[in-house]
Structure 1
């Protein structure tokens, strides 16, 4: 792993340029220490070296060079998937099955090893959205159908949630974007959907204050009074009996903070339209459409004072 100072010296890229490439174009996504310092791996170094060559020697703009790099990496991923399992979809399906089986048998070390291998081979996007999220859905279905016990469901969900939460410290935070406060209201214990949406926001540079499941209202209000630059509150509700309380909470939040976006989602809100809620937005879109929502809707709060 390399510090930003080492990368600047190694590649002769000014630090201000390096940060601009990351913040504006997501050229690379370095890891972060607990103190927030960037750490670059060897793949980051090779990507930056290639981008510098394209901009310096070929005269290509950085935005175009980044697009070329991502297309090349996607093609390379497809080829590696084909080698690993014949057809890319078959390879990912096999990975899902192996991770699910390991977790169902409470084989934590094997599951962790498979997940580590998957991230190294397939990358973040494929592993999260095409492997781990479907595994979580399968876990929930198995519990509902009685083929997995409550203990197994809790264990499997906890294992995957822990792996996903590690990425909160990886993605950079962009100062021009307002913070988002994310939590499940009191009585709601299922937070997987909230975690996934919060990770999506973090990947887009949003600082997320993540409170998780079963959050008491008084703690939320106290935090909102003390924190600055919170532009949105995001709630996730799967238990339909909690909708009346959630609506009362949304009404109080809207009265106290009329300029704040109130985003609500989760299974309990799948059949509730925006006209029937006190929220300003019902997140009913599937994950593959979240980016379009972010680009269109979140822009309305990123510049608020």
Structure 2
């Protein structure tokens, strides 16, 4: 057992901070002597050490860090099959099915706790691409087969994409990079691919103005008239029938923003043999986006 003075010396965290973490956020619950003095267990100290690392090294708030800590403790995932040092595909699948089951049963709090724990365990890239994206695929397949209701499909999609949106406020922006506008044209309601690509750009320091699915042309034109620093415009199309309209839309947008580079992607373009008027067509898997960004996109945005 350790006194608060000993914990302060061990962790380098002021006693007033330790008391605030305990009283405001219930980060740990130390034992008390008969005189009321705090006594911390070894587990308490390790929990506080982890919280310090999350706030100082990862830059997250103490409230969020405590939430992650509690999720870790309440999680029943078998850590023997997954650890930060080496994660097996079985661990991803187990987490994936646990989150899907919770959302399928409309257990939002449980699902959020699982997702928090997953991010702390696996990290951003693996959690997004190995766990959460497969959840969206699962519910889409279930809906098509009649195994999930429209309400379940909407709920699961909303909950997962909302977690993606939260990261737009986490990654820092490189002010030397021009802004990127991202949207799906009118009639295109599937935005997950565009959202993931936008988050990838945001993670690389690009400020993204994200308009989402089914965006009317008139609104885009109005917005472009108010923005003078758009360096690139991204469009995503999954329905091949929308390609003719999208290509004509790009031509009109090029007249409005002749200096902007245009990027297109999505299953619609993957299945098309027609060349696009856009400068870039992204048809590579997410694990190759970074090479493309480093070799082409970042230099283009900086006008190198």
Instruction: Compute the TM-score of the two structures, normalised by the length of structure 2.
Output: 0.71
Gapped runs of 5+ residues in structure 2? 1-11, 14-50, 59-78
- Decide which structure has greater helix share: 1
Q: 1:1-54: CA deviations, max 9, x gaps?
A: xxxxxxxxx89xxxxxxxxxxxxxxxxxxxxxxxxxxxxx62256659xxxxxx
Please report how far the alpha carbon of residue 213 of structure 1 lies from its aligned counterpart in structure 2 after TM superposition: 1.1
Moved more, 203-212 or 188-197: 188-197
Residue 256 of structure 1: how far off its partner (Å): 2.9
Q: Are residues 180 and 114 of structure 1, via their aligned partners in 2, closer, same or farther at CA, if it must alter by over 3 Å?
A: same
Q: CA deviation at 1:147?
A: 2.3
1:238 equivalent to 2:233? Answer no
Alpha-carbon displacement from aligned partner over 1:192-247 (angstroms, at most 9, x marks no partner): 11111111111000000011111111111111121122110001112222211111
Check whether the contact 1:237–1:269 (CA below 8 A) recurs between aligned residues. yes
- 8 Å Cα contact 1:180/1:234 also seen in 2: yes
SS across alignment from 1:128: helix
User: Which structure has the bigger radius of gyration?
Assistant: 2
Distance 2:57 2:82 in 1: 23
Runs of at least 4 residues off by over 3 Å: 44-48, 80-87
Summarize the alignment of residues 146-161 of structure 1 with structure 2, pairs less than 5 Å apart.
146-161=146-161
Counterpart Cα distance in 1 of 2:82 and 2:301: 43
Stretch deviating more after TM superposition (220-229 or 137-146): 137-146
Say which SS state the counterpart of residue 301 (structure 1) adopts. Answer: helix
Per the alignment, in what secondary structure is the counterpart of residue 212 of structure 1? strand
Partner Cα distance (1:81, 1:245) in 2 = 52
Which range is displaced more, 91-100 or 249-258? 249-258
Q: Measure how far apart 1:84 and its partner are.
A: 6.0
When structure 1 is superposed on structure 2, of 82-91 and 169-178 the one drifting more is 82-91
Cα RMSD (Å): 2.6
The unaligned stretches of length 5 or more in structure 1 are: 1-9, 12-40, 49-79
Aligned pair count reads 236
Per the normalisation by structure 1, the TM-score is: 0.71
The secondary structure found in structure 2 opposite 1:276 is coil
Q: Distance in 2 between matches of 1:285 and 1:230?
A: 24
Q: CA deviation at 1:254?
A: 2.1
Deviation at 1:136, TM superposition (A): 1.4
For 1:271-305, what per-residue CA distance to the aligned partner results, in whole angstroms no more than 9, with x for missing partners?
225x6222111111111111111112213432249
Q: Structure 1 residues 87 and 209, CA, compared in 2 at 3 Å: closer, same or farther?
A: closer
Post-superposition offset of 1:145: 2.8
> Following superposition of structure 1 onto structure 2, how do residues 63-74 of structure 1 map, counting pairs within 5 Å?
none
1:42 aligns with 2:52: yes
1:186 to partner: Cα distance = 1.1
Match of 2:302 in 1: 303
* In the alignment, structure 1 residue 292 sits paired with structure 2 residue 285: no
Q: Does 1:183 align with 2:183?
A: yes
Q: How does 1:266-281 map to 2 (within 5 A)?
A: 266-273=266-273, 276-281=275-280
CA deviation vs aligned residue, 1:107-156 (integer Å, no higher than 9, x gap): 21211111111112222122111111121122222223332222221111
